Homo-oligomer: A and B are copies of this chain.
């Protein structure tokens, strides 16, 4: 069940502020008496706080294989918290939420979002729950970057850190892809400069942005194995043959259609840009200096060789810099075929690593 914490007062952001924003989160397991068995999960761009099913909400979570009783993140031992990112649209305050001072949706009046704001939101939830120090802060993709922001803003609030398929900053290639995704949304006339009716909006732009996202989340090798040159079952001959000829084309269309109605376009734009803007080195002159204040005991960085959004070399660099400050750092370079998305699908590779870290 998603819980809501309404922040009492003004929530300061990196640029600007929000009046009593809501933070949506879910928890699994029980906080122990020492209050030292909590794991905080930051998510990628699109998931909600519903990482796993629970008696209150039996629907499948986005990391169902990983979080639960006797699973790698074992909820019989740990108190697990997953927060819906500030700026998202699954319960936490974002551009689609009502601004209490105007009684209208924020839309583009929402302050420019940074991953540091999302990290501060997580910390606010911890304050609310009475948790000073986490066993581990963990995140994947955008969540893995948010974990770094959290560690730098609150250098003593976590003993362990896990970063999965993330990096200390985005490369221009990843920025270019996200920039074009945003352009596809913003150039859809139905975006209306951000003022679309909240139940409609730029579906075409969202569909196209999602297709580009999927192209960047997987790997060429996976698709070659999976689709080859298989033809779509319902090929229609049309002038120029521009219809769905290949199976990979109808696969993308089906997935994009499913996503487009489910995620608020303005929220997508804000979260996407926040990933571009993040640079861990902003917390120090260099990455090393930024990490210098961090008081972690252990860290694990997991990267995937076929990830071209966050290349594994960037993740290795992150592990190397962490290792200068943190006594116990593991780096795992996985040969998954599934690219950036591997942590959601290649469970046979990820499960043992996560299980061992928390054993």
Which of A44-52, A238-246, A344-352 contacts its partner? A238-246
A256 to chain B, nearest CB (A): 10
A109 to B110, CA, bound (A): 49
A183 to B204, CA, bound (A): 10
Flag whether A220 is at the interface (Cβ < 8 A). yes
Flag whether A112 is at the interface (Cβ < 8 A). yes
A240 to B182, CA, bound (A): 11
Contact A229 B308 (CB under 8 A): no
Flag whether A171 is at the interface (Cβ < 8 A). yes
- B contact residues around A298 at 8 Å (CB): none
- B contact residues around A112 at 8 Å (CB): 240-241
Of all chain B residues, which has the CB nearest A180? B211
Flag whether A234 is at the interface (Cβ < 8 A). no
A274 to chain B, nearest CB (A): 9
Contact B220 A171 (CB under 8 A): yes
Interface string of A170-187 (1 = CB under 8 A from B): 111111110110111011
Of all chain B residues, which has the CB nearest A218? B173
A208 to B175, CA, bound (A): 15
Contact A215 B308 (CB under 8 A): no
Known pairs A187-B208, A208-B180, A212-B180; A239 contacts B175 (CB<8 A): no
Q: A residues near B, CB below 8 A?
A: 95, 108-110, 112, 169-177, 179-180, 182-184, 186-187, 189, 194, 204, 208, 211-212, 214-215, 219-220, 223-224, 226-229, 239-242, 245-249, 252, 266, 269-270, 273, 276-277, 279, 308, 311
A-B CB contact pairs (8 Å), 29 listed = A108-B239, A110-B240, A169-B229, A171-B220, A172-B220, A172-B227, A172-B246, A173-B215, A173-B224, A175-B248, A176-B211, A176-B223, A176-B248, A176-B249, A177-B215, A179-B246, A179-B252, A180-B215, A182-B242, A183-B208, A187-B204, A194-B240, A240-B270, A240-B273, A241-B273, A241-B277, A245-B276, A245-B277, A308-B308
